[in-house]
A and B are shown apart, each in its own frame.
Chain A
Amino acid sequence: MNNYEQLAKRIVQRAKKKGAKQAEAFLEVGRQSSCRVRDGEIEDLTEAASKGVGLRVITKDNRLGFAYTSDFEPASVDSFVDRALRLAQTAAPNKLNGLPSAKELGKLGETGELYDQAVAGLAGDWKIKAALEMEKAGKAVDARITTFASVGAGDYVSEVYVASSEGVSAGYSGTYVYLFASPVASENGQLQTSSWLDYKRFLGDLDTPESVGQEAARRAVRMLGARRVKSQQVPVIFDPLMTASFVGNLADAADGNSIYKNSSIFVGKLGKRLAPESVTVVDDGLLKRGLGTAPFDGEGVATRRTPLLEKGVLRSYLYDSFTARKAKAKTTGNASRGYSSLPHIGTNNLYLEPGTRPPEELIREVKSGFYVTAMLGRGADAVTGEYSRGANGLWIENGELAYPVQEVTVAGNLLQMMQDVDAIGSDLQFRGSVGAPSVRFKQLTVSGD
C-alpha cells in the first residue's frame, strides 16, 4: 500500500473516530505537461503536479457533509475532517443518504491496461515536436491557412484512490495524451476556423500530429465563403463529432438525478421504443483502451457495460448509489467526480453503435439538406427535450457537399429527433470518452434568412 492509499484510509478512520457513521475519501494525484506553438516557435510550456482529496461523511443521524483540500499536511488534514463533520450538521437528515454497501460495490471487472509506459515516459520535447509538426502540416494544406488560434499537445498521468468505511480500498493509475489544432483560414476578408483533436490513453492509438493538423486545416478552408440559407425543414446529417454531442444529450436525459425529480423527457419511458431499431447507445466503463475506462466509479462501485438504448428501446437510466436508492433501482456505476466535488451522474465511455454504410452514402441520398460540422450553444434541454443550436457546415445539393453555410440554427425536439434517425454511418470514432458515427435525421428546422 502506498502513501496515498494509506492517507485515504487514515482520513476515513479519523472521520469514523470523530463520530461519522460512514466516511469515504476520494484522492487524486496527477502530473501534467502541455505545450502550444506559434509560427514555428514555442508559445508556452506548462508543467505541474497536483493532488487533492475529497471527504464524504454521513453522520449518525444521516446527514451528508463534504469537504475537500489539496493541503496534505497532517494538521490541515485533521481540521478538514472536522470541517466536513461540522458542515454536515447544516444538511437535513435523509434516510437514503449512505455510501454504497459491499453488495453494491460489486466485483471489479476486467479493464485491461489503463497505463501506457510510452505516455508516462514521453520525452520532454515530444509535445513541442508534435505541435510544430501539426502547425506545419496544417499550413501546408492550403495557402489560405494564415494562422492558428491554437495548436498544441500534452499529456497527463494520474492516480486515483478511494477508501471507505464500507470496505473499499482501491486505486489505479492511468495515462492520457492529446493533440489539438484550431487553424484560421482567411479569404476576401472572411475568417473561418475549425477545431480538430485527438485524445487517448495510449500513444499508439493517437492519430499522428500530421493528420490532426491536416484535417483541422481542411475543415477550416472548406468553410471559406460560408453564407446563410433560407429557413426551411430539411434532412440534416451530423458528423461524428456533432453526433457525439447529441449522444451526450441522450445520456443527460437518462441521468438518474433528473429521473427521480421528474425533470427529464425520459421519465416513464423505460421499456418503450424511442428510436428505430438501428439505434443502440451504450455506456461501457470496461471498454478496452477507452479514455473513460476505469475499474470503479467515483464511489468505488465496479463499472460495467450499460445499454441505455437497445435497438431503439430505452433500457436503463444512469445511477449512482443515492439516485438508485431514490428510484428503488441498482447503481449502474455512473458516479462521476473529481476530488473537489460530490459524486454526480456521468458517463464512462458512451457511444452510439455504428451502422454499416459509409458516411458518403448518407450524403448521396439527400437531395437538399444540411451536413453539420460545428455547433454553438448547449444543445438539448433534458426537461423539455427542446433542441436549438447555432450550426456551421456544408449544404448538400443532389447528394453532394455543395457550399459552406454559417449563421443558421438547427432546431427540433430530442424525442422527435430520436424517432427521426433514418441512417447511421459506419464511421464510429472516439475523440474523447464519447464516440459516435455520422447520423442522418429525417428532418430538422434550419433557421436562416
Chain B
Amino acid sequence: MPPATARTKRPTPAQLAPLATRQVVAAPLLPQPLIERLLAVAMERGGELAEVYIERALLTAVILEESRIKSAQTGLIQGVGIRVISGAKVGYAYSDDLDEAALLRAARTAAMIAQGGGSEQSFKVSRTPSPSYYKVSLPLADVDVALKAELVLRADKAARRFDSRVKQVNGSYVDNTKRIAVANTLGHYTEDTQDLCRIGIQVVAEGKNKERRTGFYGGGGRVSFSHFDAFTPEQVGREAARQAVATLGAAECQAGPQTVVLAPGWSGILLHEAVGHGLEADFIRKGTSLFAGKVGEKVASDLVTVIDDGTVANSRGSINVDDEGVPGERKVLIEKGVLKGYMYDSLNAKLMGQRSTGSGRRESFKSMPLPRMTNTYLAPGDHSPEDILKEVKRGLYCAHFGGGQVDITNGNFVFEVSEAYQIEDGKIGRPVKNAILIGVGPEALKNVSRVGCDPMPDPGMGTCGKDGQSVPVGVGLPTLRIDNMTVGGTKVS
C-alpha cells in the first residue's frame, strides 16, 4: 500500500486549523505492574483463569446531508474489562475509570464468582508477539478530518451527477483507531492496534408518480486512508445511485419457491446467516444450534466449501489477535459439503475439550467475548457467471442485498434483496421489489447447484450483531445458483 498523502486541491478551514487528533493513540494503555496486580486480585478467591482487557479507541465521523457536511464528530472510548473463569462460571466487571482504586474494585467484583479463597498467588505476564495483517501507514485517527469530509462530498457529487432522478443523498464516513491489550493468568500479554474505516452512501431516487427507490453502497476495511484512491468515493456514489435508479418501475415479486442466482460479493451475508452463526461454539455447546453434533456429516451440496478467515490482508473482519489475545486463523468450516468444525473462543473451547480458533471477539471492554465470525467466504467453483445465468429459464437474479437475520435454533434465516430482477430465458429482465429470501440453513445449502469462478469479497460494509454486541465482519460469495429457494413477495399466482 502506498503511504497516505495529504493530497488536496483547496485548503479547507479544518486544514488551516491545527489537527485535532494527533498523538492520541500513542499513550500507554496501562502500566504492566498494575495489570499484574489486577490479575492477582481477580484470582484472590480462586478460579482457573483471570483476564484483563484494556481498550482505548478514538472514533471520527463525518455526516453528509443535502450536499453539505452536516456535522463532524469525534469520541473517545476507554476502559478495562476483567473476567474471572471458575469452571463454567464467569464473573465479569468493567470500569471506564482508569484509576487504580476503580480498577481494583472491578477486579474484586469479578473475583466474586469463585467460591474458594485465600489465594495470594502473583502473576507475571510477558509480551506475546502477534502477526500483522493490516498495517496502516498513518493511524486513521491522525488523518486530517477535512480529507474525510472531502470523500463524502465527492461521493455526493458523483451520485447526483449519475442521474437527474437522484433526489436525496445521505453519506457518512466513520473511522476508528482502536488499541487493545489482553493479559491473562497464563502469562500472556498481547497488544494490537486495529484501524477501521467505512464510507457509506444512501441514495433516494424518484421516478414517475412519486415512486421512490433507495440504493446503498459503501466500503472500507482495516486500511490506510489511501485505500480511497483506488476504491474511489465517486465509484461508491455512482453505485448507490445506480441501484436506486435501476429499481424504479419494479414489479411486484412473485411469492413461492424459485431458482435464484445471487450476484457475487456482499451476498456472502447469506452464508453468514444460513450457516455461519450456527457453527459458533457457544450455540453448539449449549445444544441450541441445529448444527450441534453434526461434524463429519453432509450439511451442504458437494459444491459448498465455507471458510472463515481472520487473516485476510486489510479486510474489515480480520484480526491479528482476537479479543482474548489468540492469533486470528483461517478455518475450513465446511469442505465439499461436509461439516469440518466450529468456531471457538477460549472458554467454549476449554469446556468442550477443543482449542480456540481465535474467534473470541467482543464489541468493547463492556462485553464478554463470544465466538464470532471474522471474514466468511464460500470458495469459488468452476462455472462462469454468464453460464450460470444462461442456464436458468425462469428465476430471480439477486443483484444487491440489505441485511439478514437467523434463528440459530430452528435454522430459519432471511435475507433481504434490495435489487432483484426476474430471469427470463437466461437473461436478466424486469426489476422486482420487496423480495426477501427465506430458508433453513442446511436445506438451502443442499440446494446450491452452481458455484461461480468469480470469487469476490464484499467491499467492507458488514457489521454483525449477536447478544447486543456489534463487531465488523467481512463476507464473500462467488456467483451462486440455489434451486427451490423460497422467495417472499406480494404476488400469488
Contacts and interface: CB of A to CB of B under 8 A. Distances in A.
> Among the interface residues B78, B113, B214, B438, which one has the most CB atoms of the partner chain A within 10 A?
B438
Interface string A374-386: 1011100101101
B409 interface: yes
A413 B490 CA distance: 9
A86 B19 CA distance: 8
Given A389-B414, A411-B488, A447-B438, A46 B76 contact: no
| Chain B contact residues, majority secondary structure | strand
B71 A390 contact: no
B276 to A, nearest CB: 15
A206 interface: no
B168 A261 contact: yes
A447 B256 contact: yes
Interface stretch (A36-44, A207-215, A422-430): A36-44
Contacts of B416: 377-378, 388
B407 interface: yes
Contacts of A49: 95-97
Contacts of B290: 191
A96 to B, nearest CB: 10
A45 interface: yes
Interface stretch (A160-168, A228-236, A298-306, A394-402): A228-236
A90 B91 contact: no
Interface stretch (B10-18, B234-242, B331-339, B391-399): B10-18
Given A342-B73, A388-B434, A447 B414 contact: no
B21 interface: yes
Contacts of A148: 286
B58 to A, nearest CB: 10
| Chain A contact residues, majority secondary structure | strand
Contacts of B76: 68-71, 76, 80
B14 A384 contact: no
Given A45-B92, A64-B71, A408-B438, A263 B486 contact: no
A147 interface: yes
A376 B465 CA distance: 14
A376 B412 CA distance: 9
A390 B414 contact: yes
Contact of B286 (A44, A149, A233): A149
B91 A45 contact: yes
Contact of A445 (B95, B112, B409, B489): B489
A381 B212 CA distance: 11
Interface in A36-73: 38, 41-52, 64-72
A58 to B, nearest CB: 10
Contacts of A72: 97
B70 A92 contact: yes
B409 A191 contact: yes
Interface string A401-419: 0000011111111000000
Interface in B90-144: 90-98, 106, 109, 112-113
A51 B95 CA distance: 9
B423 interface: no
B257 interface: yes
Contact of B94 (A42, A48, A69, A411): A48
B194 to A, nearest CB: 19
B447 interface: no
B26 interface: no
A125 B68 CA distance: 53
Interface size, B (range): 35 or more
Contact of A65 (B72, B287, B488): B72
Contacts of A117: none
Interface string B250-278: 00000111000000000000000000000
Contacts of A438: none
A48 B110 CA distance: 10
Nearest to A408: B438
A84 interface: yes
Contacts of B97: 49, 51, 72
A410 B492 CA distance: 12
B438 A390 contact: yes
> Among the interface residues B68, B88, B90, B255, which one has the most CB atoms of the partner chain A within 10 A?
B255
A50 B410 contact: no
Interface of B: 12-14, 17-18, 20-21, 62, 65-66, 68-79, 88-98, 106, 109, 112-113, 145-146, 148-149, 167-168, 170, 204, 206, 212-214, 255-257, 283, 286-288, 290, 366, 368, 402-410, 412-414, 416, 433-436, 438-440, 467, 486-492
Question: A-B pairs with the 5 shortest C-beta distances?
Answer: A409-B488, A447-B255, A92-B68, A390-B414, A193-B409
Interface of A: 38, 41-52, 64-72, 76, 80, 82-84, 86-92, 94, 146-150, 184, 190-193, 223, 226, 228, 231-233, 261-263, 340, 342, 374, 376-378, 381, 383-384, 386-390, 392, 406-413, 445-449
23 contacts: A50-B79, A51-B97, A64-B71, A67-B75, A83-B21, A86-B14, A90-B149, A91-B69, A91-B71, A191-B410, A228-B486, A377-B414, A378-B405, A384-B213, A386-B433, A390-B436, A390-B438, A392-B412, A407-B438, A407-B440, A408-B486, A447-B255, A447-B487
